[in-house]
Structure 1
Amino acid sequence: MFVEDTISTIATAPGEGAIGIIRISGSLAIKIAETLFRGIKGKNIEQIASQQVAYGHIIDPNNGQVVDEVLLLIMYGPKSYTREDVVEIHCHGGPVPIKKILALTLEYGARLSEPGEFTKRAFLNGRLDLSQAEAVMDIIRAKTDASLRMAVGHLSGALSDQIRKMRYEILRMIANLEATIDFPEEDIEVLAAQDVRAAVDLLLVDINHLLSTKETGRILREGLETVILGKPNVGKSSLLNALLKEKRAIVTDIPGTTRDIIEEFVNISGVPLKVVDTAGIRETSDIIEQMGVEKAKEFVVTADLILLLLDASLPLSSEDREVLKMLSGKKAIILVNKTDLPVLLNLDEVYTYIADTKVLKISVMEGIGLAELEQMIVNMVYDGGVAQKEGAFITNLRQANLLEQARHHLEATIATIDEGMPSDCIVIDLKESWDKLGEITGDTLGEDIIDQIFTQFCIGK
């Protein structure tokens, strides 16, 4: 499905840099390169082999002036990212030359690409399926090695292969049942239905296993939103600095130093944490600090994990009690800080506010308990049921919803068989499940949904 028009855009990040890349894809890509590029030794485009780099200049045909010194890379389709003819112009990364070269490519036949259009063409031309295309953006946005490893696995087909095996198995079931429709002997139909029921049970095991990865996959893709909570001067900013291993937040003995929200990504053994350091929870007449406290309470509602700090050197205060009440129904770890000082905190009173919440004694100042905290977070993310190096994860809501719908139709298939319904009724739910699984890879997805997915991509990819 080759698209007729030719697209061009700047493929490198905005701003100044050593190198800027203009990427062109489509039927006119080579012709545009012939018009604009002049090799240093007179080498023309026909003499440049595919996947090889040529050195020369971009010339403005309007006046014959040199725009910039460049390297030119040609990739003839179908052996390219989009399976079309692709040209990359590597120039100096200043905004003036790169924008000038882009303007020339548009003047001589290309149009400006839409977000994600290069990857969309790779999908439409059969280079990638939809789950692999989504993995491209996951690679770009990866925050840790584990996030990258998961995305690269998906790009290589780790998820696609599992989905295709499931669809093949469903198709086999449909074929067996439709054969009984053509030869409607009752004994044959009953045996075929029982064989399908056993196969569906096995398929549901695989689907449930994939669905069990959706929370871990989402966290590896987006980060675990983690809120550091507690009263003023309990060590929240010190904990953020310790996790980051740098002095990001201001630390003083003056209560209320942190008034605004500080957000940073932290790599905890491959798990990306989006750590939010909040204002201390307390009653205050300071309007700015009040706003910070309200923001802290808002983050508690949406957080994946709350790290609540308590001061081991002081009895439980009214501020501590207020924050403890906020943990109801939330995933949290209570950190009893400053254990290097004489302990006055009554832990028995703390336990009256919590049920199964984990408690860990630490000293941020002395570095005590921080390694245990990191391991505790990793264990919570993987939950003991998902191997850290496993290739296939469900990484977004679209995939999870489709997999859940596929499961629903398979469960309906079992119900239909158990009710003794004829083969053509069983086939209806199997086909629905087959379609939903196909939407994950894009095999059975409508054009409007495809367009919506690719608008989330960055320009130039």
Structure 2
Amino acid sequence: MLTTDSDPIVAIATAPGRSGIGVVRISFGRAGEAAAEPLMLALTGQSLAPRHASYVPFLDGGGHALDRGIALYFPAPHSYTGEHVLELQGHGGPIVLQLVLQRCIDAGRAVGLRLAEPGEFTRRAFLNDKLDLAQAEAVADLIEASTEAAARSAGRSLEGAFSRDIHALVDEVITLRMLVEATLDFPEEEIDFLEAADARGKLSRIRERLADVLSEARQGALLREGLSVVLAGQPNVGKSSLLNALAGAELAIVTPIAGTTRDKVTQTIQIEGIPLHVIDTAGLRETEDEVEKIGIARTWSEIERADVVLHLLDAREGMTPGDGPIAARFPPGVPVVRVMNKTDLTGLAPSVTKLDDTGGADLREVRLSAKKVDGISLLRAELLRIAGWQAGAESVYLARERHLIALRAAQEHLGTAARHADQSAQALDLFAEELRLAQEQLNSITGEFTSDDLLGVIFSRFCIGK
């Protein structure tokens, strides 16, 4: 059956499983009040006062109560979706919720009531201008938040903090575009536009503000996605001990026997609210053991996908002939921290050192003792530095990779515009075009300029009933 964004829809709005309360939500779409009133009578036996909680029975087709609970009616446009909405809040047993859901579908067949698709309620909130696209995505991010910091940042995005910054940038770009295009429309005006209108200064301030927004968005993306941190190195250098020290629990088996870890062990921890997906892997060495070979192949596969690689070495030996080929195989562009473990056996204190002989790469060496949990705080701080985390950044809002791509693209267009501004008046049309392209990228974040295909992808990842 062909579905549209104006169909009446219904879904269970609470998570699967048993709970004290369960919610069935109906949004009436194009059918509006004409469908809402008779359906309320069929489901509850009475008319409902707008925005008042009424304790009522939820009736089956024969007028018998399936359940009893609270019914709430929200006339348009004062509802989550901006449409007429009815919520039935009853007991949270899976069977009773399914019975109520099916009763709603049966009673609403005449008006075309159907099951909602994933994210369809929030999609309608976006289409009806109750939320912009960044706020709509924040709804899903708030539901999925795995840390307190992520939840708070998602809440700020839902309140519109991210959107307000984007709209402010767009307004500044539009103002500059108006000045540029007015000059293009009146070429007989013999004025030096770039000087008289301070176009370069305005553009410079826009670029500075965009850089600030991008920095906050990067931190927000870290809160949402976290970092994949892979522990790599030869056998028996203390990778499993380091995983246990970082996690604060005995997660991995630790023995003096080389090759104990045959497959990856993954644990998610938090540092300053950032999720770190720490992966302990099989030791890298030449072996004839078929099982160990599989584990080593999986180790390299994880390294290829890593955000950060911790290259563990024995502090007593440093870089050995076997470590050179391992370091040479690390993917270019992936940050690597050289971790000198077992400092408790050397008499040296834990420390962090910047290595100078790395061909310009920003490589740090951290000396610590995983067994004694000495120097672990130094490694945590180093991981935060690599992540670009700024302590005390209260204004962070949650962001997605889609947002970062759009912000970087806008940054590139503004950079190109600046180069045109430094040329001649003949480049003003190119200057104006780059400003237009930057504006389109920024508008795509909040949904003012977004393809239907992209909307379909975004909302399909929501849970059903939201």
Q: Structure 1 length as normaliser, TM-score?
A: 0.85
Counterpart position of 2:44:
37
1:55-93 Cα shifts (integer Å, max 9, x gaps)? 3432211x3443234333333332222122223333333
Q: Distance in 2 between matches of 1:381 and 1:104?
A: 51
Quick one: structure 1 residues 378 and 29, their matched pair in 2 at CA, closer, same or farther if it must change by over 3 Å?
farther
Quick one: structure 1 residues 127 and 231, their matched pair in 2 at CA, closer, same or farther if it must change by over 3 Å?
same
Quick one: structure 1 residues 194 and 389, their matched pair in 2 at CA, closer, same or farther if it must change by over 3 Å?
same
- Is 2:316 aligned against 1:310? no
Q: Distance in 2 between matches of 1:419 and 1:320?
A: 55
Query: Is contact 1:176-1:192 (8 Å) kept?
Result: no
> Gaps spanning 5+ residues in structure 2: where?
none
The alignment covers a number of residue pairs equal to: 446
Correspondence 1:415-434 to 2 at 5 A? 415-417=419-421, 418-421=423-426, 426-434=431-439
Quick one: structure 1 residues 21 and 278, their matched pair in 2 at CA, closer, same or farther if it must change by over 3 Å?
farther
Q: Which amino acid aligns with 1:376?
A: E
Q: Distance in 2 between matches of 1:313 and 1:413?
A: 55
Q: Distance in 2 between matches of 1:250 and 1:422?
A: 65
Counterpart position of 1:140:
143
Structure 1 stretch 243-252 or stretch 451-460: which is displaced more? 243-252
The structure 2 residue matched to 1:335, chosen from 301, 314, 339, is: 339
Counterpart position of 2:375:
369
Q: Which amino acid aligns with 1:449?
A: L
The structure 2 residue matched to 1:404, chosen from 383, 400, 408, is: 408
Q: Distance in 2 between matches of 1:4 and 1:137?
A: 22
Following TM superposition, by how much is the alpha carbon of 1:305 offset from its aligned partner in structure 2, in angstroms? 0.9
Following TM superposition, by how much is the alpha carbon of 1:327 offset from its aligned partner in structure 2, in angstroms? 4.0
Structure 1 stretch 3-12 or stretch 273-282: which is displaced more? 3-12
- Is 2:60 aligned against 1:55? no
Q: Distance in 1 between matches of 2:184 and 2:330?
A: 58
Following TM superposition, by how much is the alpha carbon of 1:303 offset from its aligned partner in structure 2, in angstroms? 0.5
Query: Is contact 1:20-1:98 (8 Å) kept?
Result: yes
Counterpart position of 2:265:
262
Counterpart position of 2:366:
360
Q: Which amino acid aligns with 1:406?
A: A
> Gaps spanning 5+ residues in structure 1: where?
39-43
Work out the percentage of aligned pairs sharing the same amino acid: 37
Q: Distance in 1 between matches of 2:167 and 2:207?
A: 15
Following TM superposition, by how much is the alpha carbon of 1:115 offset from its aligned partner in structure 2, in angstroms? 1.5
Counterpart position of 1:80:
79
Structure 1 stretch 207-216 or stretch 225-234: which is displaced more? 207-216
The structure 2 residue matched to 1:378, chosen from 378, 381, 384, is: 384
1:118-171 Cα shifts (integer Å, max 9, x gaps)? 111111111111111122222222222332232222222222112211221222
Correspondence 1:432-443 to 2 at 5 A? 432-443=437-448
Quick one: structure 1 residues 314 and 434, their matched pair in 2 at CA, closer, same or farther if it must change by over 3 Å?
closer
Q: Which amino acid aligns with 1:290?
A: K
Structure 1 stretch 298-307 or stretch 213-222: which is displaced more? 213-222
Q: Which amino acid aligns with 2:426?
A: M
Query: Is contact 1:53-1:72 (8 Å) kept?
Result: yes
Quick one: structure 1 residues 314 and 429, their matched pair in 2 at CA, closer, same or farther if it must change by over 3 Å?
closer
What SS does the corresponding residue of 1:250 show, helix, strand or coil? coil
Following TM superposition, by how much is the alpha carbon of 1:290 offset from its aligned partner in structure 2, in angstroms? 1.6
Query: Is contact 1:324-1:353 (8 Å) kept?
Result: no
Q: Distance in 1 between matches of 2:124 and 2:450?
A: 15
Quick one: structure 1 residues 415 and 14, their matched pair in 2 at CA, closer, same or farther if it must change by over 3 Å?
same
The structure 1 residue matched to 2:24, chosen from 19, 22, 25, is: 22
Q: Distance in 1 between matches of 2:105 and 2:249?
A: 46
Quick one: structure 1 residues 183 and 459, their matched pair in 2 at CA, closer, same or farther if it must change by over 3 Å?
same
Query: Is contact 2:413-2:437 (8 Å) kept?
Result: yes
